[in-house]
Copies of this chain bind each other. A is one copy, B any other.
Amino acid sequence: MDVLVKDLYASPSEHTDQSVTISGWIRTIRDSKKIAFIEVNDGSYIKNLQVIAKRDRLANFEDVVKLPISSTVKVTGKLVETPEAQQPFELHADSVDIEGVAAPDYPLQKKKHSLEYLRTIAHLRPRTNTFYAVFQIRSLAAFAIHEYLQHHDFVYVNTPIITSSDTEGAGEMFRVTTLDPDHPAKTEAGHTDFSQDFFGQETNLTVSGQLQVEPFALAFRNVYTFGPTFRAEDSHTKRHAAEFWMIEPEMAFAGLPETVTEIEGLLQFVVQYLLDHAHADLQFLNDHVDDQLLARLHQTVSEPFARITYSKAIELLQEADVAFQYPVEWGVDLKAEHEQYLAEQVFHRPVFVTDYPRAIKAFYMRDNPDEKTVAAVDLLVPRIGELVGGSQREEREAVLRAKMQEFKLPEAEYDWYLELRKYGGTKHSGFGIGFERLLMYVTGMDNIRDVIPYPRVQGSINF
């Protein structure tokens, strides 16, 4: 049975001076006449294992040293500690079985490649140290989110991906259809006849699971979604993708203060989990991608996040000695430049902004007594801007109904949503975290395309 390189690094003394077998991919070979130094990565850890192959011990020494990069080998040998060397131990090979011989034109040779080039070989880039670290962290962060929420009695709910509704009355959507593209069924009036489509009506990809998860909060108290969401936006920024994952917790019997507490608790747990479980990956990214990364993560878990109101934020922005591209006055939606200024320049850490103007927020957010603002919260973080958005939900049926008219939403489509207020309605709140934005924050990566295995953006759908 193979030993994992990860386990060798975790407890080398258990294996020292013993015979171990590993399987992996060759990353580099340096050889002289009598000896070869082969760096092997077995996929279980970001670091390689150095294999020492000696001509006088290996019958196939000639074949081994000629292997192209990324060939696979199975090595059995003795693990020897090397306290003087760069790596803590090395494997003195007694045998090297060649499992697969790679073609010599493997694109990932030793030299450094640009992130842009690596995006074109998304099927190979997880083999680079940078993307190995990023996608390892993606996996661990996802699990940490589940672990925190499950241990805090949140029930995981898979809200639908194909939907007939548009959650926020905003956001361009993708249509889902099985109609013949060249000859779709037509109505008498000459329009596309969606009654002939797969679901008997026009359907779209979800932009948020929030409305559909609220009913579960009114049954299970604390619930969450964690799944893909979609925006067909003509947006070519580093922070937007057409397909991304969101986490949307929803809590009955909770208001805005409990929501703020839960956001902080969840994010601090995730960051601490990564510090505990992805140390080598974070260290690599800190050394090669963003030298502030570890400092920022340590601060995230050790200092409470800042808290201000939207009105105070506007004041701070108006007082700022900065030439913003977009002017600031009470009532405007904050742009990335404003959000980043507050988190980076004013607070130097994550900051909650609460009580936004009701006109710029979604219809379901609860009106505050001042009749101008809603019980909403955004969390702004350095480098990213908005990472989390949440609110207390409007549970008063009459207020919600009036607001839907004001916001020009078709009431009939939201019948079932209004019924949640009619039957068992109560105070409830929730929030949404953009998973990829969180990943940009915890990896230091600058472009959302580099934290998604196969990113989908306008005009591009490889793999």
Contacts and interface: CB of A to CB of B under 8 A. Distances in A.
Given A23-B253, A162-B243, A219-B126, A103 B423 contact: yes
Given A136-B220, A218-B127, A242 B424 contact: no
A136 to B, nearest CB: 6
A95 to B, nearest CB: 16
A366 interface: no
A458 B199 contact: yes
Q: Contact residue range for chain A?
A: 35 or more
Contact of A4 (B6, B103, B153, B419): B153
A414 to B, nearest CB: 10
A72 B198 contact: no
Interface string A103-145: 1001100000000000001111011000110011011101100
B176 A156 contact: no
Contacts of A445: none
Contact of A178 (B2, B132, B174, B424): B174
Contacts of A146: 142-143, 146
B143 A150 contact: yes
A9 interface: no
One complex includes copies of this chain to the number of 2
A95 B100 CA distance: 73
Q: Which of A4, A150, A245 has the most CB of B within 10 A?
A: A150
A60 interface: no
A221 B126 CA distance: 11
A181 B147 CA distance: 43
Contact of A174 (B160, B163, B176, B252): B176
A159 B454 contact: yes
Given A143-B146, A200-B461, A158 B452 contact: yes
Interface in A173-191: 174-179, 181-182, 184, 190-191
Interface in A328-349: none
Interface string A293-325: 000000000000000000000000000000000
A417 B385 CA distance: 37
Contact of A138 (B121, B147, B158, B458): B158
A315 to B, nearest CB: 34
Given A103-B423, A175-B181, A176-B175, A458 B198 contact: yes
Interface in A189-226: 190-192, 194, 198-203, 205, 212, 215-222
Nearest to A177: B175
B459 A199 contact: yes
A102 B215 contact: no
A70 interface: yes
Given A100-B425, A200-B459, A216-B126, A174 B155 contact: no
Interface in A71-111: 71-72, 99-100, 102-103, 106-107
A43 interface: yes
A255 interface: no
B424 A461 contact: no
Contacts of A178: 172, 174-175, 232
A434 interface: no
Contacts of A403: none
A228 interface: yes
Interface of A: 2, 4, 6, 23, 25, 42-44, 70-72, 99-100, 102-103, 106-107, 121-124, 126-127, 131-132, 135-136, 138-140, 142-143, 146-147, 150, 153, 155-165, 172, 174-179, 181-182, 184, 190-192, 194, 198-203, 205, 212, 215-222, 227-228, 230, 232, 242-243, 245, 252-253, 395, 416-417, 419-420, 422-427, 452-454, 456, 458-463
Given A123-B416, A175-B181, 16 more contacts: A23-B253, A43-B219, A106-B423, A158-B245, A161-B205, A162-B242, A162-B456, A164-B461, A164-B462, A174-B178, A174-B198, A181-B192, A181-B202, A199-B242, A199-B459, A201-B461
22 contacts: A4-B221, A23-B253, A25-B218, A43-B219, A43-B221, A102-B424, A107-B423, A123-B215, A123-B420, A126-B219, A135-B219, A139-B150, A139-B155, A140-B150, A181-B184, A182-B192, A198-B458, A199-B456, A199-B458, A200-B459, A203-B461, A227-B228
